Amino acid sequence: MYLQKIRSTGFYAMKESLDKTKIPQHIAVIMDGNGRWAQQKGAMRIFGHKNAVTAVRECVEGCAELGVKFLTLYAFSTENWARPKDEVDALMELLVETIAKEVPTMMKNNIRLLSIGDVNTLPKKAHNKLKEAIELTKANSGMTVVLAISYSGRWEIREAVQSIVEKVVNKELKIEEITQEVIAANLNTKNIPDPELLIRTSGELRISNFLLWQLAYTELYFTEVLWPDFRKEHLVQAISDYQKRERRFGLTGAQVK
């Protein structure tokens, strides 16, 4: 209790140091390091996934309190299906449990849930729970949490190419009408602004097939912290670092000043 208090005091003090006018409206997170976190404790990898739930809650709460509008969480990649069956099954089970448990909190905090990815590949139970939670929270107007599940950037781009080509073939769209806006509108993330900030935990310096189109000008932030240890303070640290950057979008420093 006492420790909890010190910790949250830390968050509130740190929060005050942020520039309120420069809070990113969309943060994307590659939640990595669950397996290693568990292994360091001599436990099974799934123990790490179970302990990732607290970090998810902290990150969602922290973002809501800071006024972030969209939070995209990379929960499961297309490539993750190739992990050992036990781990995949346990992750899917955990997904169902967590969504079911978190819906009341999302309702209370006016949070809307969305998903991106090939959700049809999910086990029926997980898919249904997800659809149910999306439906229940669809009118919430506070923050939007986007779960990337069975997602990869290349999969998403392929889907977009297919649907654009289909429109061209059906003469609903001319080739010269394929603009960047049209491509963006055919991605799973249509109507979601590109993230200003990407956070990846666990020290890995790569994108791992996440939001390949959308990250074009996103600021990248990497931390050694393993995902199950991620807390609101780490979120504030990432945003504080982001606020010190000069985003130039190809222009010169003088131009953006």
Nearest distance in Å: CB 121, ligand IPE: 14
Least Cβ distance, residue 32 to Mg ion (angstroms): 4
| DSSP category for residue 207 | -
Identify which of 117, 196, 130, 123 has the alpha carbon closest to the alpha carbon of residue 159: 117
Q: What are 139's two structure tokens?
A: 């009118």
Radius of gyration, alpha carbons of the chain: 19
Shortest spacing between CB 219 and ligand IPE, in angstroms: 19
Interface with ligand IPE, residue 22, by CB under 6 A: no
Query: What is the rounded distance in angstroms from the CA atom of residue 217 to the CA atom of residue 247?
Result: 8
**Smallest gap from residue 201 Cβ to Mg ion (A):** 9
Decide if residue 46 touches ligand IPE (CB under 6 A).
no
Helical residues (DSSP H) of 42-196, grouped into ranges: 45-66, 85-108, 124-136, 153-169, 180-185
How far is 252 from 257, CA to CA, in rounded Å? 9
Among 24, 35, 153, 195, binds ligand IPE (CB under 6 A): 35
Stretch that binds ligand IPE, among 4-12, 32-40, 156-164, 187-195 (CB under 6 A): 32-40
Best CA proximity match to 192, nearest among 73, 108, 77, 79: 73
Residue 188: name its binding partner from Mg ion, ligand IPE, none (Cβ under 5 to 8 Å by kind).
none
Interface characters, 82-111, with ligand IPE (x: CB under 6 A):
---------x--------------------
CB-based burial of residue 6 (10 Å sphere; 0-12 exposed, 13-18 middle, 19+ buried)? exposed
Could you tell me if 175 and 197 are in contact, meaning their C-beta atoms sit under 8 angstroms apart? Answer: no
Q: Quick check: 51 binds ligand IPE (CB under 6 A)?
A: no
Q: Closer to Mg ion at the Cβ: 70 or 210?
A: 210
Using Cβ positions, the residue closest to ligand IPE within the complex turns out to be 35
32, 156, 196, 219: residue in contact with Mg ion (rule CB under 5 A): 32
Q: Does 121 bind ligand IPE (CB under 6 A)?
A: no
Site for ligand IPE in 193-232 (CB under 6 A): 202, 204, 206, 208
- Residues in touch with Mg ion (CB under 5 A): 32
